[in-house]
Structure 1
Amino acid sequence: MNLISTGAVRLHQMTIRQGDPDANTRTILALMARARADGVRVAVFPELALSGFMAGQDWLDGSCLRACERGLARIVEASQGVAVVLGTVAAYRGRLVGAAVAAEDGLRVTPDESPLPFVPKLLTPQNRFDGASGFLCAGAVAAMEGVALHTLFSPFKLGGMSVAAWCGQALPRGYDPARQGAGLLLCLDTRPYTRDRPLGGPPAADGVPAACCCGTGVADTGKTLFVLAGGTQARWPDGRIGHAPLLHEAVLDFAARPPDEAVARTDHAAPRKVIEVLEHACRLQLARLGLSRVIVGASGGIDSALTAALYSRVAGPENLLLVNMPSRHNSSTTISLARRLAVNLGCYYTEVPIQESVELTRRQIDACVCERPGGKKRELSLSDFAVENVQARDRSGRVLSALASAFGGVFTCNANKSECTVGYGTMYGDIAGFFAALADLWKVEVWELARCYNAEVFGGEIIPQGSIEIVPSAELSQAQNVDEGKGDPLVYAWHDRLFAAWTERPVPATVEELARGYSECTVGELTGYPGDLRALFPDEASFRGDLTRMWQLYNGLARAKRLQAPPVLSLKSRTFGFDLGAAQLPILNEFV
């Protein structure tokens, strides 16, 4: 029977708790019980619904696999009265396999032509979450079984229907389960939110209902935190598509007849949606770490202002402390902006001047005399540039960390992706923090989200307009005096596009082709920069000079800084940490 009757199939967009099969099993059993009571015939759950996505060696923990097997046994036993399809991890000849599993009437259901009680994932999970970690792909399984690959993906009988189910978006090339008699296609998937890449839809099949069931929650790889997007979808035979909301738990009942009003698909890249993802991820991060209070170093600039606005909604103003830490280089303008932000948010605020402690550090180091055996001595002193870094380290390493202990919370890293790309931050200073929520956002996106917070979230000027308009500056020396219009050595409208060409394109633009691009007039095509490049760089020499400097920064100490930075929230398809991991030393060329 290939027709889906009313209420026959329910797609469960569940929150998957990473590394907690017992909790996920309890969730699935409760949802199955509800589906059974509602007369649902087949309950569908996402990929890796029992374990969640885990990092590297965590997959090799035998206790987790055993917990998944115990949980699956309970789910199979509970399939009396409601059939179930879910994604899990299976043991196969001493290796691991991502698998789609089905059960009905207390028994596992095997695909019609397959020798296995599960459908193996076509591709090994060399993906953004976990690396290969000993997983076998379906091709290897087919070879070991001595069968044709497509037989492992054959449909099975479930709930009176012929169903094809698999994990991930990919199927064997040329294989069409609908031609094999499948009357329902189920793709079990769990994918991260990416602003720059829309989510895929249900499997395509003319006249055959199809669905993609996805999970929500987070996937923590250690250095990078991914937000599981959800976005479960169902396509009815007439081509209409129903959508579950992004990010949140939901159920989508999949019947033969589409609902009159399917859930509208939201613009996943809209600033308001990015804010929702940011808040959702930070809320989950605090909860999973058992944290409630947050300290933000508020400079008066836009990065700390956006971070403060974010955590005021995530933790609540009663659990948020803003601290301004002025030196003699900080303007009264930025100090007053930090104060105004705290008043607008209704959170705690304090000021801890650092000039005295910075001067103490300089005096102590300048008075140091180092001596080797034999009497050879060397006197030390701090340069003015080194004292700039002392200020940044004093703020984070001394003041913010101590305040975090006193306040009973953690302090944030406010770095954006532009700064991370070229290392425009101080190691053990403003790069420190418990979590880098903005580190996958370019500076221009930080401004964009700040404006959206005021216009669409707060409905008024909560983030001071002055923080949005003031020239970005670290205020570490007189050369960075914001009242004189002096600030960061970056033209963000241009440099963000340049950095994105290096980091976010599937095939990065090389520095060599960019260097040629000025004379060949191809820089705009390579970077997407819409402005007049010659207004910034009147000749090729000035362009190559800036390009070389930025490339050397990107491949210099910035590499070490990125390695030692806090965990980064991923919002794009290529994020520093997991996607853009790198050795401390670059590949050498004429520019490095």
Structure 2
Amino acid sequence: MTDKIKIALAQINPKLGDVAGNVARVLAARDEAAAGGADLILAPELVVSGYPPEDLVLKPAFQDACRQGVERLAKETADGGPALIVGSPWVENGKLHNGTFLLGEGKILAKRFKYELPNYGVFDEKRVFVPGPLPEPVEFNGLKLGLPICEDLWFASTSAYLKGKGAEILLVPNGSPYDHDKPNQRIEIAGARQDETGLPIVYVNQVGGQDELVFDGDSFVLDRGKAIKARLPAFVEKIAITEWQRGNDGWLCLPGDVAPVLTSKESIYRAMVLGLRDYVQKNGFPGVLLGLSGGIDSALSAAVAVDALGPDKVRAVMMPSPYTSRESLEDAAACAKLLGIRYDLVSIEPAMKAFEGMLEGVFAGKGRDTTEENIQSRARGVTLMAMSNKLGHMLLTTGNKSEMSVGYATLYGDMCGGYSVLKDIYKMTVFALCRWRNAHFPAGLAGPKGAVMPERVITKPPSAELKPDQTDQDTLPPYDVLDGILSCLVEEEMAVDQIVAKGYDRATVLRVWRMLDLAEYKRRQAPPGVKISRRAFGKDRRYPITNGFRPQ
């Protein structure tokens, strides 16, 4: 029996489906931890397969590859180096489980299966996995370890069972996606389990982007009294070694490095950067392309792209029409210059005239309306998609959550593209992030220091510039009002009376509710984008398109 142990927290960025690559990432982490004298390494949930595997995990060939990955990692531990705790899908007695494995001495020493399978929001694990039984502790060097997997920690039963069976430390592998409330929530949940069991908790979360999800890492050790003894930096890969001693009252973690907690604005911005970077790099795109209009949304999208990929991987094009203001032309060019990206100018006026001529006969007797405005947006969409096809760069869309909520976007126009970093960002947050980025440059960004957009981009009234003297507020409520109502409807699912009680005008609330419902068909055709809030459109919020419910 040992009285001292070194446990390494391996905050790794796996790539879903890349079993061989993920095995290599774990082995690289093991080498680094071994150099620091680690005895045991805890890796994230399903690190062998990547998380969440969705229906890929139902393929028998993928299940076999994951099993072989675990077996290979087990063999690597025959060298006498540190043991590993890794996660992987696993078929046992014909049932597919979300498993975690203690590997050492060249073999699989123990395996445990997730008991609480999440089935809400972005999670649908009950669809693909079978829950295991309440997990027994595993023994390692005379130490009894509890291995609750992610969601198991959110319920008291699993931790209580492990405590009752003699567990001395809880080691928790996680695949916990980021939202702006999640870091504090994790600490609160772990603190509740620590209070109930009196056991220290080692919480390791994966880091990186996977489609619309971003995993922020933010791994930690929570010791008795809910003391944070170690905390890894958010949004970066990191291997950290913690030292433990057995005392009269059980195991204690010696104080280690505690990374600072990021501000809300920085954490949101870093989530956007990491989500885009991994989406582009893991899918093999050479870079991104976007329309730079001189407005605030495209300016922020361009800044995030440059901070994620570097200026050489970002290309912008301004596509003026007769309604484009001189200020917009100047501001778009200024943004491109501040960011150091290539900037092209392609007028859509010839396309507008061509469409007017083509449609003159079928539109005879009809006055001009939003149809002509949408033609402009679609001409821009065709132009951008042509450039994307020819150059190979992924097209980045620039619409925000406020616009997508109420349908203030054009199908096959400004909605064209492969990814959106603003998809889950309300307009008022766009303003705040632009001011924050102009004033801050945290470490790890690939873009330039200093301001990345002119002040006028932030202060001028937003406009689609599809007709003379147009502003967004011609069609929409003021954005502070709109965002407040949308937050009540989308994130909180409030009834009209509840929203009105908060001080909003009833007619405006009903109007926004109706626009939100009517735009569902557009959102179904929107590109994926970084999840930031508790309730992003898509997997988090799945509403019917055909919907007869009407609030009073």
Question: Do they fold alike, i.e. is TM over 0.5?
Answer: yes
Tell me if 1:278 matches 2:239.
no
**Given that residues 385 and 416 in structure 2 are in contact (C-alpha distance below 8 angstroms), is that contact kept between their aligned partners in structure 1?**
no
Which residue of 372, 376, 386 corresponds with 1:391?
A: 376
**Given that residues 76 and 106 in structure 1 are in contact (C-alpha distance below 8 angstroms), is that contact kept between their aligned partners in structure 2?**
yes
Who is 2:259 aligned against?
A: 264
**Given that residues 329 and 481 in structure 1 are in contact (C-alpha distance below 8 angstroms), is that contact kept between their aligned partners in structure 2?**
no
1:472 is displaced (CA, Å) by 0.8
Tell me the SS of whatever aligns to 1:64: helix
Tell me if 1:327 matches 2:321.
yes
CA spacing shift, 1:318–1:153, aligned 2, 3 Å = closer
1:34 is displaced (CA, Å) by 4.3
Which residue of 252, 255, 272 corresponds with 2:243?
A: 255
Which residue of 491, 514, 536 corresponds with 1:552?
A: 514
Who is 2:542 aligned against?
A: 581
Which residue of 124, 129, 140 corresponds with 1:135?
A: 129
Which residue type is aligned with residue 154 of structure 1?
E
1:442 is displaced (CA, Å) by 0.5
User: Structure 1: how far apart are the matches of 2:73 and 2:392?
Assistant: 41
Who is 2:48 aligned against?
A: 50
Which residue of 439, 449, 468 corresponds with 1:478?
A: 468
1:274 is displaced (CA, Å) by 1.9
CA spacing shift, 1:356–1:263, aligned 2, 3 Å = same
1:328 is displaced (CA, Å) by 1.8
Q: How does 1:324-363 map to 2 (within 5 A)?
A: 324-363=318-357
CA spacing shift, 1:128–1:510, aligned 2, 3 Å = same
1:451 is displaced (CA, Å) by 0.6
1:48 is displaced (CA, Å) by 0.6
**Given that residues 15 and 282 in structure 2 are in contact (C-alpha distance below 8 angstroms), is that contact kept between their aligned partners in structure 1?**
no
Which residue of 469, 482, 486 corresponds with 1:495?
A: 482
User: Structure 2: how far apart are the matches of 1:278 and 1:129?
Assistant: 21
**Deviation larger for 160-169 or 99-108:** 99-108
Which residue type is aligned with residue 76 of structure 1?
A
**Given that residues 2 and 184 in structure 1 are in contact (C-alpha distance below 8 angstroms), is that contact kept between their aligned partners in structure 2?**
no
CA spacing shift, 1:31–1:298, aligned 2, 3 Å = closer
Who is 2:444 aligned against?
A: none
User: Structure 2: how far apart are the matches of 1:178 and 1:343?
Assistant: 60
Tell me if 1:523 matches 2:482.
no
Q: How does 1:127-526 map to 2 (within 5 A)?
A: 128-138=122-132, 142=133, 152-168=134-150, 169-171=153-155, 173=157, 175-198=160-183, 199-201=185-187, 202=190, 203-204=193-194, 208-220=199-211, 225-237=212-224, 239-241=226-228, 242-256=230-244, 258-260=253-255, 262-267=257-262, 269-368=263-362, 383-396=368-381, 398-457=382-441, 460-480=450-470, 489-505=476-492, 508-514=493-499, 517=500, 522-524=501-503
1:131 is displaced (CA, Å) by 4.6
User: Structure 2: how far apart are the matches of 1:54 and 1:63?
Assistant: 17
1:130 is displaced (CA, Å) by 4.5
Who is 1:60 aligned against?
A: 58
User: Structure 2: how far apart are the matches of 1:293 and 1:195?
Assistant: 27
Tell me the SS of whatever aligns to 2:389: helix
1:31 is displaced (CA, Å) by 2.9
User: Structure 2: how far apart are the matches of 1:334 and 1:124?
Assistant: 47
Which residue type is aligned with residue 456 of structure 2?
G
Tell me if 1:561 matches 2:522.
yes
**Given that residues 496 and 506 in structure 2 are in contact (C-alpha distance below 8 angstroms), is that contact kept between their aligned partners in structure 1?**
no
CA spacing shift, 1:46–1:312, aligned 2, 3 Å = closer
Who is 2:21 aligned against?
A: 23
- TM-score (normalizing by structure 2): 0.89
**Given that residues 90 and 97 in structure 2 are in contact (C-alpha distance below 8 angstroms), is that contact kept between their aligned partners in structure 1?**
yes
User: Structure 2: how far apart are the matches of 1:316 and 1:39?
Assistant: 36
**Given that residues 293 and 320 in structure 1 are in contact (C-alpha distance below 8 angstroms), is that contact kept between their aligned partners in structure 2?**
yes
**Given that residues 14 and 215 in structure 1 are in contact (C-alpha distance below 8 angstroms), is that contact kept between their aligned partners in structure 2?**
yes
User: Structure 2: how far apart are the matches of 1:553 and 1:48?
Assistant: 40
User: Structure 1: how far apart are the matches of 2:146 and 2:545?
Assistant: 46
Which residue type is aligned with residue 31 of structure 1?
A
User: Structure 1: how far apart are the matches of 2:2 and 2:481?
Assistant: 55
User: Structure 2: how far apart are the matches of 1:126 and 1:555?
Assistant: 21
1:560 is displaced (CA, Å) by 0.9
1:29 is displaced (CA, Å) by 2.8
User: Structure 2: how far apart are the matches of 1:72 and 1:315?
Assistant: 33
CA spacing shift, 1:342–1:475, aligned 2, 3 Å = same
CA spacing shift, 1:590–1:72, aligned 2, 3 Å = closer
Tell me the SS of whatever aligns to 1:163: strand
Who is 1:570 aligned against?
A: 531
CA spacing shift, 1:339–1:219, aligned 2, 3 Å = closer
User: Structure 2: how far apart are the matches of 1:37 and 1:322?
Assistant: 45
Which residue type is aligned with residue 214 of structure 1?
N
User: Structure 1: how far apart are the matches of 2:426 and 2:329?
Assistant: 24
Which residue of 64, 73, 76 corresponds with 1:75?
A: 73
**Deviation larger for 209-218 or 33-42:** 33-42
1:176 is displaced (CA, Å) by 4.6
1:388 is displaced (CA, Å) by 0.6
1:4-30: CA deviation from partner (whole Å, max 9, x where unpaired): x152x2121111111122211222233
CA spacing shift, 1:355–1:490, aligned 2, 3 Å = farther
Tell me the SS of whatever aligns to 1:157: strand
**Given that residues 320 and 348 in structure 2 are in contact (C-alpha distance below 8 angstroms), is that contact kept between their aligned partners in structure 1?**
yes
Who is 1:90 aligned against?
A: 90
Tell me the SS of whatever aligns to 2:102: strand
Tell me the SS of whatever aligns to 1:478: coil
Who is 2:248 aligned against?
A: none
CA spacing shift, 1:30–1:408, aligned 2, 3 Å = closer
Specify every segment of 5 or more residues in structure 1 that has no aligned partner in the other structure, as ranges.
Answer: 111-116, 143-151, 370-378, 525-532, 534-542
1:126 is displaced (CA, Å) by 5.1
1:251 is displaced (CA, Å) by 1.6
Q: % of aligned pairs identical?
A: 26
**Deviation larger for 489-498 or 311-320:** 311-320
**Given that residues 55 and 129 in structure 1 are in contact (C-alpha distance below 8 angstroms), is that contact kept between their aligned partners in structure 2?**
no
CA spacing shift, 1:438–1:58, aligned 2, 3 Å = same
**Given that residues 33 and 239 in structure 2 are in contact (C-alpha distance below 8 angstroms), is that contact kept between their aligned partners in structure 1?**
no
**Given that residues 117 and 126 in structure 2 are in contact (C-alpha distance below 8 angstroms), is that contact kept between their aligned partners in structure 1?**
no
CA spacing shift, 1:46–1:451, aligned 2, 3 Å = same
User: Structure 2: how far apart are the matches of 1:292 and 1:128?
Assistant: 29
**Given that residues 33 and 241 in structure 2 are in contact (C-alpha distance below 8 angstroms), is that contact kept between their aligned partners in structure 1?**
no
Which residue type is aligned with residue 320 of structure 1?
V
User: Structure 2: how far apart are the matches of 1:86 and 1:293?
Assistant: 33
Tell me the SS of whatever aligns to 1:118: strand
Specify every segment of 5 or more residues in structure 2 that has no aligned partner in the other structure, as ranges.
Answer: 246-252, 442-447
**Deviation larger for 117-126 or 20-29:** 117-126
The structure with the larger Rg is 1
User: Structure 2: how far apart are the matches of 1:502 and 1:238?
Assistant: 38
**Given that residues 97 and 114 in structure 2 are in contact (C-alpha distance below 8 angstroms), is that contact kept between their aligned partners in structure 1?**
yes
1:297 is displaced (CA, Å) by 1.0
- Matched length: 527
1:466-505: CA deviation from partner (whole Å, max 9, x where unpaired): 11001011111125069xxx75523111110110111112
1:295-330: CA deviation from partner (whole Å, max 9, x where unpaired): 221111100111111222223223332222122222
CA spacing shift, 1:262–1:176, aligned 2, 3 Å = farther
